[in-house]
Amino acid sequence: MLHQLRTTKPQEFIDITDIVATDVRNSNIKDGIVVVYVPHTTAGVTINENADSDVVRDIINTLEKVYPVRGDYRHLEGNSHAHIKASLIGSSCTVIIKEGRLLLGTWQGIYFCEFDGPRQREFYVKIIKE
Ligand code: ZN
C-alpha cells in the first residue's frame, strides 16, 4: 500500500502506527511481517517511544546537535544534514504480525521521520504472510 503524507515542519517525526495497523487489519493476515519503506533520501522511518513526546523531541534535537543544518558540507543542495540523518535512521523497518496485530512493545510506535520538510512525502506498507 502506498500512503501519501504532508509534513509541516523542517524536521519532525509523524506517528504512522495507526496507518500501518489499519493496513494489517485490512489484509486479514494473522501471522507474518510488515515492512514500512520510505523512498526518500532526506526522510526515514524508525520505531521508538510514542508515550512521552519528549523522547522524539530529544532525538531530533540531539541529531541536530551532532549533524547541524549548517556545517562543513559540500553537497550543493544545502541539505546534507538531512541526508546524513536519513541514512542513520534508515529507510525501512519491519514489524512482526502476530494474531493479526502488530507485535509492538507497549511504548513503541512507528514514526515517519522528516529531516528536510515541509514536503509532500510517501511511504509503502508491504505485508508478507508467514
Ligand atoms: Zn540533497
pLDDT tens for each residue of 37-84: 999 999 999 999 999 999 999 999 999 999 999 999 999 999 999 999
* Cell numbers describing residue 23: 493496513
Distance 116 CA to ligand 1 centre (A): 9
Distance 13 CA to ligand 1 centre (A): 19
Overall number of domains in the chain: 1
Distance 5 CA to ligand 1 centre (A): 20
The range of the structural domain enclosing residue 16 comes to: 2-129
**Which pLDDT belongs to residue 102?**
98
Q: What is the CATH number of the domain that holds 51?
A: 2.60.120.460
**Which pLDDT belongs to residue 88?**
98
- DSSP assigned state of 10: S
Distance 7 CA to ligand 1 centre (A): 17
Rounded CA separation 126/91 (Å): 14
Q: Coil, strand, or helix at residue 33?
A: strand
Distance 130 CA to ligand 1 centre (A): 38
* Cell numbers describing residue 22: 489499519
Distance 125 CA to ligand 1 centre (A): 25
Distance 127 CA to ligand 1 centre (A): 30
The Cα diameter of the chain in Å comes to 50
Distance 75 CA to ligand 1 centre (A): 7
The alpha-carbon radius of gyration of the chain (Å, integer) is: 15
Summarised one tens digit per residue, pLDDT across range 101-115 is 999 999 999 999 999
Indicate the pLDDT class of residue 120, thresholds 50, 70 and 90.
Answer: very high
Indicate the pLDDT class of residue 96, thresholds 50, 70 and 90.
Answer: very high
Summarised one tens digit per residue, pLDDT across range 16-36 is 999 999 999 999 999 999 999
**Which pLDDT belongs to residue 22?**
98
Distance 12 CA to ligand 1 centre (A): 18
Q: Can you give the pTM of this predicted structure?
A: 0.96
